[in-house]
Chain A
Amino acid sequence: MSEAVAHDHHHAHPTGLKRWLFTTNHKDIGTLYLWFSFTMFIVGGIMALVIRAELFEPGMQIVKPNFFNMMTTLHGLIMVFGAIMPAFVGLANWLIPMMIGAPDMALPRMNNWSFWILPFAATLLVAPMFMGGNFMDGQGPAFGWTFYAPLSTNYQNLGFFVFAVHLLGISSIMGSINIIATILNMRAPGMTLMKMPLFVWTWLITAFLLIAVMPVLAGAVTMLLTDRYFGTSFFIAAGGGDPVLFQHVFWFFGHPEVYIMILPAFGIVSHIIPTFARKKLFGYSSMVYATASIAFLSFIVWAHHMYTVGMPKAGILFFTYATMLIAVPTGVKVFNWVATMWRGAMTFETPMLFAIAFVVLFTFGGFTGLMLSISTADFQYHDSYFVVAHFHYVLVPGALFAIIAGVYYWLPKWTGNMYSETLGKWHFWLSAISVNLTFFPMHFVGLAGMPRRYADYQLQFAEFNMMSSIGGFVFGLSQLIFLYLVIKCIRGGKKATDQVWDNPEGLEWTVPSPAPYHTFETPPAVK
């Protein structure tokens, strides 16, 4: 057991700030990613609460319309690029080497760099908020996280935004290259591709998606940049450009992007459910194929975000059919999870509770997704709160719950201590109830006709908006329990065993708890 620790003498660890600045250790970098992600989650969350406070009742009481638009924009961008994506990369850093029996990531220095770009990118993104004298007149981006041209090309501080996105893209691409290089080259002998844990599989596919679409995003923002500052007219109709082209380019990135935020979540849940059902994952290989199919389909459905731009009939039909097809592999995954639970011997520790909530609420988000795929009906849903409800269901009780479930599941392995199950249950039940109180009423106001990104609204939507706001605040405050619980767990608690759970599958459970600084310096044997 202490063999890995005993070998840990070849170089001295820097301590204090230097340890974190210069670290090339996958566990340290994973920790950095996770704390960065949590910080951004709080920042983006506060913005969400500003939105919910303003929408608490009709009339504008708290902020000005432009500040409101800035909040919706930055909330979206920060949650997508600052909270969800870095959280998955953090989990990948911690877990992939331990799951495949590798000593570290393949490219440790690049790993350090891809993390340390992020705080600068986030600063560039948020900085314009503090320009313009009076805080309430801040000049941050206010064109929606989708930054459609030509609204975005009119924005005076566009340069900040463009460089922030470029940096985020560089970070993601480097992270992905690292993950692919690690998975393809550093697996322990005997671990064939079809023996890889599902979290590794889903991340491998996600990394390819990232490498494919991040450059497209970079192209889109570069064209915005030249439109704004160098007199080109890619997207400006008055100069012969095409505003719809922007949407095609953006969503060619944007649709795979939403799967980038959910595929690793599928992986996490596929680890947790078997452990707590005490039964092997049902249909492992079909899970792999389904993930790959979803990834492929994600490239040919982008225009379903644009049904109302005036596409030709053939285009609308193609994107309708292609989008519906996604329901097939996604359904296979859900059925496999249910089949894993079926006739297991389940217990309901916090990770399992979050994982089950994930399956139920993500599936619900999938149902509304299927409804949105039907273009004719989408003419009513498009850009309404129905869409907001849909994507928050797949991203909050979807992606976010899976991340939280993963943190609970592996936290004892990371810290060597068990977390408080009582606090964990409080966190779960408060989150699960409030997340539904927040987002469920949005379906109703959306169907009844409330457009999204509205700073003020008709009186008929008042009650449901009030419910959403109350739910939002409860959800936000519940996350402080999580913060407290994690800090408490790091500082001490009941010692975790090496296995932590009841006979879980995977190499990460064969190393001591807490996992030593270096693991698998000699590769383990995989049967």
Chain B
Amino acid sequence: MSSNIMKIVLKSVSLLLLLTAAGTVFAEYNLNIPKPHTPNATVMYNQNMFSIWVCFWIGVVVFGAMIISIIFHRKSKGAKPASFHESTALEVAWTIVPFGILIAFGVYATSGILQVEDTTQKAGKITVDGKTWSWTDKNNKKSELNVKVVAHQWYWTYEILEGHKTVYKFDSVIDKSHKEASLKGKDVSKIKNYMVEVDKPLYLPTNTKIRFLITADAKDVIHSWWIPKLGVKRDAIPGFMNEAWTVIDASDNGKFFRGQCAELCGTYHAFMPIVVKAVSKEKFKEWLAAGKSESQKLAKVDWNKTNLMSHGKKVYEAKCAACHKPDGSGTPPAFPALKGSKIANGKAADHIGIVLKGKNAMPAFKTMSDADLAAVITYERNSWGNKGSVVKPADIKAARAR
């Protein structure tokens, strides 16, 4: 730690030197909301700019008067204090004028809210600021594509819906190497997209009206799904289903949009990024088909011990290792060691119960698939010298029914 402090001192000194040497050092950095890519993000950006300029000019007037006063009305310059101390006319004026400015503000803000909040847009196109986004919706439905976003501590589950049915569901977890580099205090300055890379991004089709249904698992905590360039930020709240909408233009095909969880959700709040890739409608169909067949394949796997162990290791590292550690040693007392634990070496039913229902600080994992759960529990029961029984997907199914 003391070497870190030395490093900090050295860096501070060098940064200050750099600052004095060249004032333009920050020219390349973002000073504002990033360039918007959707109708809603554009509205947000414009309202931001509008309010910045109004505040700027009010500031010029107020601070200008102050500066003039500070320069000229000082005792050292021989100023004699005036005796005036009230004026009803002035008080009325500086109540009415700001009120008038606020009415303009209010009218402008209202139009923005009505657009952003209206997830039922049916027109097939929307024009903001001279730029048009269009979508082709033959059936004139509220939305062509519904995507359910479910938050967990600390990852996102995406479900592509057709009607009321989930046709493809997958978890999107922060890239392991980023998390490890961060937590171990490694040099991260060369990592591309540091802290905003996931194992599986969410693909979204362009020229499509997309509706997000955002929630969190009932036993989880509140999160918030935020992608600045798409202009979407909605809290993911247990027991609530929030809506947001977007449409991405074809010119953004192939682009990645990155975001992060915006509501404090516990220890690894900073470690659940969001990555969306915009693709053409055709590409999206291919991706969806591949996803569907992958999950079907997973359903057909022969879940013998070897397969369970190898799949379980992957699931463990994505979902469990943050607290229980890759070597099963845990972070006691909140997250006990699994290595040599009574539960992992004892009755399978108790082990399954805890994973499904959660315990104290540990959330419930019941939204994971039977196969994932069976694999990870088997992995925990047969790693690090543990000698527990093998758990099959059917055991999980049975346990859920109880």
Contacts and interface: CB of A to CB of B under 8 A. Distances in A.
Interface of A: 53, 56-62, 64-66, 69, 132-133, 137, 139, 142-144, 148, 150-151, 154, 156, 236-238, 241-244, 277-286, 308-310, 313, 316-317, 320-321, 324-325, 327-328, 331-332, 334-335, 338-348, 356, 359-360, 363-364, 367-368, 370-371, 374-377, 379-380, 382-384, 444, 447-449, 451-460, 462-464, 466-467, 469-470, 473
Interface stretch (B164-172, B183-191, B338-346, B372-380): B183-191
A464 B32 CA distance: 13
Interface stretch (B95-103, B292-300, B305-313): B95-103
Nearest to B5: A53
B30 A460 contact: yes
Nearest to B91: A286
A335 B48 contact: no
A463 B29 contact: yes
Chain B CB count within 10 A is highest, among A64, A377, A456, for A377
Contacts of B91: 283, 286, 332
A237 B218 CA distance: 6
Contact of B98 (A137, A142, A331, A379): A331
A356 B70 contact: yes
Given A282-B85, A310-B240, A449-B34, A347 B186 contact: no
A432 to B, nearest CB: 14
Interface stretch (B106-114, B199-207, B382-390): B106-114
Contacts of B33: 380, 447-449
Interface in B112-166: 112-114, 116-117
B44 A53 contact: no
A469 B259 CA distance: 24
A375 B258 CA distance: 22
A53 B185 CA distance: 13
B398 interface: no
Interface string B25-61: 1100111111000001001110110011011001100
B296 to A, nearest CB: 31
Given A150-B238, A447-B33, A379 B269 contact: no
Contacts of B265: 151
Contacts of B189: 58, 459, 462
Nearest to B71: A346
Given A374-B105, A375-B109, A451-B226, A137 B48 contact: no
Contacts of A328: 95, 98-99, 102
15 contacts: A151-B265, A151-B266, A243-B239, A280-B83, A310-B237, A313-B114, A342-B73, A345-B74, A376-B109, A379-B231, A444-B30, A444-B32, A451-B262, A469-B12, A470-B16
Interface of B: 1, 4-5, 8, 11-12, 15-16, 25-26, 29-34, 40, 43-45, 47-48, 51-52, 54-55, 58-59, 62-63, 65-66, 69-70, 73-76, 79-87, 90-91, 94-95, 98-99, 102, 105-106, 109-110, 112-114, 116-117, 181-189, 191, 193-196, 218-222, 224, 226, 228, 231-235, 237-240, 242-243, 259-271, 331, 333-334, 360-361
A470 B113 contact: no
B333 A346 contact: no
Given A143-B266, A343-B84, 11 more contacts: A60-B183, A308-B233, A308-B234, A332-B91, A347-B76, A367-B58, A444-B31, A448-B29, A448-B32, A451-B262, A456-B182
* B interface majority secondary structure: mixed
Contacts of B86: 282-286
B222 A382 contact: no
7 closest residue pairs by CB, A with B: A237-B239, A376-B112, A448-B30, A237-B238, A310-B242, A367-B55, A280-B85
Nearest to B110: A317
Which one of A53, A66, A156, A343 has the greatest number of beta carbons of chain B within 10 Å? A343
A325 B102 contact: yes
A453 B269 contact: yes
A69 B266 CA distance: 8
B31 to A, nearest CB: 5
A341 B29 contact: no
A221 to B, nearest CB: 18
A363 to B, nearest CB: 6
Contact of A371 (B51, B224, B260): B51
Contacts of B184: 60
A64 to B, nearest CB: 8
Contacts of A356: 66, 70
Nearest to B270: A454
A464 B260 CA distance: 19
A368 B1 CA distance: 37
B394 to A, nearest CB: 26
B221 A343 contact: no
Contacts of B59: 363-364, 367
Nearest to B269: A453
A242 B235 CA distance: 14
B221 A338 contact: no
B376 to A, nearest CB: 22
B18 to A, nearest CB: 9
Given A244-B240, A343-B79, A65 B183 contact: yes
Given A345-B79, A360-B66, A363-B59, A380 B109 contact: no
B180 to A, nearest CB: 11
Name, among A142, A156, A331, the residue most crowded by chain B CB atoms within 10 Å (CB to CB): A331
Contacts of A343: 69, 73, 79, 81-82, 84
Given A57-B11, A59-B186, A444-B31, A374 B51 contact: yes
B85 A281 contact: yes
A332 B34 contact: no
Contacts of B31: 444, 447-448
A346 B79 contact: yes
A347 B74 contact: yes
Given A286-B91, A328-B95, A346-B69, A156 B43 contact: no
B73 A238 contact: no
B112 to A, nearest CB: 4
A217 B5 CA distance: 40
